[in-house]
């Protein structure tokens, strides 16, 4: 590798090959099984939707909590300790409508299930009325429910998510209040349970409380649970829509690490594990529904998959309420955008649902820095420019040394050309003569690659931050850039990027190989075409970084008296 221009070439070729490979794998997956229809593959989706967690876990789960619980193919709930029950007449169940400053919610009196959650501050498409909708029961092809309740041993009735609740009113408005409480009541056999949703102004965290009163003559045992039931078919991936590469589906925090329960993997289709200080979640692009049990309480997490449907459950420990006693059980829900501050306020580990993956070690601090700058500037685009400048300052000593080496190599261009012509028929002598010149002039031909190598992980971290940070979703910059998380609608930034890269090419030494020199000349066009469909914020970062690099290299060349006129190849 003679200079960092050659590195650009190999980087671009590697990226193109990788993208083609991913596209091929998507179109022609290895050992792909025929896709089943939602009706046949799902088996009995209703049995999953109306399954009540069993208070007695399977023996394998109890004795080996870290292992997945094996079970036969659907219908699997009974084998997995999740027996199916007869569904109630859900169509006749009245809905309770709740409106806060961030939510428009419908809660069914059948089970107190969250059947519809609209996020008032998030549009599906920027500038259009439809809001992002998470939980919904619009139809079997889009069902997404957050079910919860109490269950217990024996055949006595329990206030589970198939039970019928009553409510004092059908509509609740937060108005200017800081908190809104929505109670639902269930009674049977001397037991009264009040299930209360508590909404807080400006928050996507929801407190769920069960107030239990035992007016009977015997002790009453109950275990809390909450589960996420969803029809979530796998979606195709497209280079033109980068967000399609984001994971959507069930996931958990097992108390120590974040685990993606990919429905296509056998070990997660019938999964059971005892977890303390964990949580369960269903992710969807920039949004998540999560259940966070109380600290210190051992919960059994189970996952069942049936075709495109999955049921992710968190089952709590059994509690006994003596006659005449009362008890309160609490859980925390989160239904909304993956906003770092709000997720961390509910539970610090909940921020892992943001899809940074293995790049969290870089993307996390990078987002923190961007958010701090944004708090000052009020514009995410300006924050990207400022952070890029700061990163350039941090890497200045490295890029300065690299730039000086590049300038010296550019000055050596005519001498290298003469050596090539002299030893064009003897590759060994040619290489030896070139190395002698580099050694005599104290030039390192590979030093120009170092800044690019350092920038690659930063570039990828920027990519994930822009793609998976809900804070930047539909964030405007200036003029024609109305959404930094989407591509530039007029491809102006990619065009600016091509011009900046071409100027950078002219400032750097020309490759002694004529063919390579011509290839490098068209690289700005190739790279800008690749970046045309990337998020505008990412292109803004690369444009800013390139322009700063051009300014720095021009200044170095000027100081060393190196001409900027193109050399003949």
pLDDT tens digits, one per residue of 234-270: 766 665 666 666 778 899 999 999 999 999 899 999 9
Q: Between residues 56 and 339, which one has the greater pLDDT?
A: 339
Residues 6+ apart with CB under 8 A from 265: none
Task: Tell me how crowded residue 112 is: count the other CB atoms within 10 A of its CB.
Answer: 30
Residue position matching structure tokens 């992002």: 132
State the sign of the Cα–Cα–Cα–Cα dihedral 153, 155, 157, 163: positive
Q: Between residues 371 and 506, which one has the greater pLDDT?
A: 371
Mean pLDDT of all residues in 357-381: 90
Taking the C-alpha atoms of residue 144 and residue 161, their distance in angstroms, rounded to an integer, is 14
Q: Residue 71: what pLDDT?
A: 36
pTM reported for the whole predicted model = 0.78
Which pLDDT band holds residue 212 (cuts at 50, 70, 90)? Answer: very high
User: Of the given ranges (36-50, 379-393, 490-504), which has the lowest mean pLDDT?
Assistant: 36-50
CATH 2.70.98.90-classified regions of the chain: 38-350
Question: Which of 49-63, 74-88, 510-524 holds the top average pLDDT?
Answer: 510-524
Residue 566 — φ and ψ, nearest 5°? -65, 140
Q: Running DSSP on this structure, what letter comes out for residue 422?
A: H
* Residue of 165, 190, 137, 155 whose CA lies nearest to 85: 155
Flag whether pLDDT at 438 surpasses 80. Answer: no
Six token digits for residue 337: 């955008």
Six token digits for residue 428: 């060994």
Flag whether pLDDT at 141 surpasses 50. Answer: yes
Cis peptide before 75 (omega within 30 of 0): yes
Classify 545 as helix, strand or coil. helix
Q: Between residues 288 and 87, which one has the greater pLDDT?
A: 288
Sheet holding 279-284, edge to edge: 179-188, 191-200, 205-214, 326-337, 287-292, 279-284, 249-253, 258-260
- Distances in Å between the alpha carbon of 331 and those of 48, 123, 290, 374? 22, 29, 11, 33
Helix (H) or strand (E) holding 302: strand 298-306
Flag whether pLDDT at 126 surpasses 80. Answer: yes
Which pLDDT band holds residue 336 (cuts at 50, 70, 90)? Answer: very high
**CATH number, domain 38-350:** 2.70.98.90
Residues 6+ apart with CB under 8 A from 350: 253, 279, 281, 290, 292, 334, 343, 344
């Amino acid at each position: 590798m003679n200079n960092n221009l050659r590195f650009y070439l190999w980087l671009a070729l590697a990226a193109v090959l990788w993208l083609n490979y991913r596209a091929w794998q998507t179109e022609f997956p290895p050992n792909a099984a025929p896709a089943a229809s939602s009706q046949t593959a799902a088996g009995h989706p209703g049995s999953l939707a109306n399954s009540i967690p069993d208070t007695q876990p399977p023996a394998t789960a109890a004795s080996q909590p870290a292992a997945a619980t094996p079970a036969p193919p659907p219908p699997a709930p009974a084998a997995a300790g999740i027996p199916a029950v007869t569904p109630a007449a859900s169509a006749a169940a009245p809905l309770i409508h709740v409106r806060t400053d961030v939510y428009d919610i419908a809660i069914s009196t059948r089970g107190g299930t969250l059947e519809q959650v609209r996020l008032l501050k998030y549009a599906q498409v920027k500038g259009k009325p439809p809001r992002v909708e998470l939980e919904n029961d619009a139809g079997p092809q889009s069902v997404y429910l957050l079910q919860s309740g109490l269950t217990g041993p024996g055949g006595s009735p329990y206030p589970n998510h198939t039970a019928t609740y009553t409510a004092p009113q059908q509509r609740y408005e937060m108005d200017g209040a800081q908190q809104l409480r929505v109670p639902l009541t269930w009674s049977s056999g001397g037991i009264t349970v009040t299930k209360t949703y508590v909404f807080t102004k400006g928050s996507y965290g929801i407190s769920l409380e069960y107030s239990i009163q035992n007016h009977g003559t015997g002790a009453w045992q109950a275990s809390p649970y909450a589960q996420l039931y969803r029809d979530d078919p796998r979606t195709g991936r497209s280079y033109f829509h980068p967000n399609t590469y984001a994971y959507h589906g069930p996931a958990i925090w097992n108390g120590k690490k974040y685990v993606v329960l990919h429905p296509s993997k056998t070990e997660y289709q019938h999964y059971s594990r005892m977890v303390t200080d964990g949580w369960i979640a269903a992710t969807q692009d920039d949004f998540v529904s999560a259940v966070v049990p109380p600290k210190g309480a051992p919960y059994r997490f189970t996952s069942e998959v049936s075709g495109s449907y999955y049921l992710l459950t968190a089952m709590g420990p059994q509690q006994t309420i003596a006659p005449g006693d009362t008890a309160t059980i609490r859980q925390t829900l989160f239904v909304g955008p993956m906003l770092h501050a709000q997720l961390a306020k509910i539970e610090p580990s909940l921020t892992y649902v943001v899809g940074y993956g293995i790049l969290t070690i870089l993307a996390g601090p990078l987002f923190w820095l961007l958010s701090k700058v944004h708090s000052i500037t009020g514009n995410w685009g300006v924050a990207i420019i400022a952070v890029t400048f700061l990163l350039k300052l941090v890497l200045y000593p490295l890029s300065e040394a690299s730039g000086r080496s590049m300038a010296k190599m550019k000055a050596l261009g005519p001498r290298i050309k003469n050596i090539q012509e002299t030893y064009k028929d003897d590759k060994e002598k040619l290489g030896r003569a070139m190395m002698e010149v580099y050694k005599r002039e104290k030039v390192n031909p590979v030093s120009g690659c170092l800044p690019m190598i350092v920038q690659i992980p930063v570039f990828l971290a920027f990519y994930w931050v822009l793609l998976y940070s809900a804070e930047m979703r539909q964030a405007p910059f200036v003029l024609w850039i109305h959404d930094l998380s989407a591509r530039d609608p007029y491809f102006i930034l990619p065009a600016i990027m091509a011009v900046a890269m071409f100027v950078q090419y002219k400032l750097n030494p020309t490759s002694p190989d004529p063919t390579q020199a011509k290839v490098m000349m068209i690289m700005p066009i190739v790279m800008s075409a690749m970046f045309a469909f990337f998020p505008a914020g990412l292109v803004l970062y690369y444009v800013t970084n390139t322009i700063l690099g051009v300014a720095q290299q021009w200044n170095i060349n000027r100081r060393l008296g190196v001409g900027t006129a193109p050399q003949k190849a």
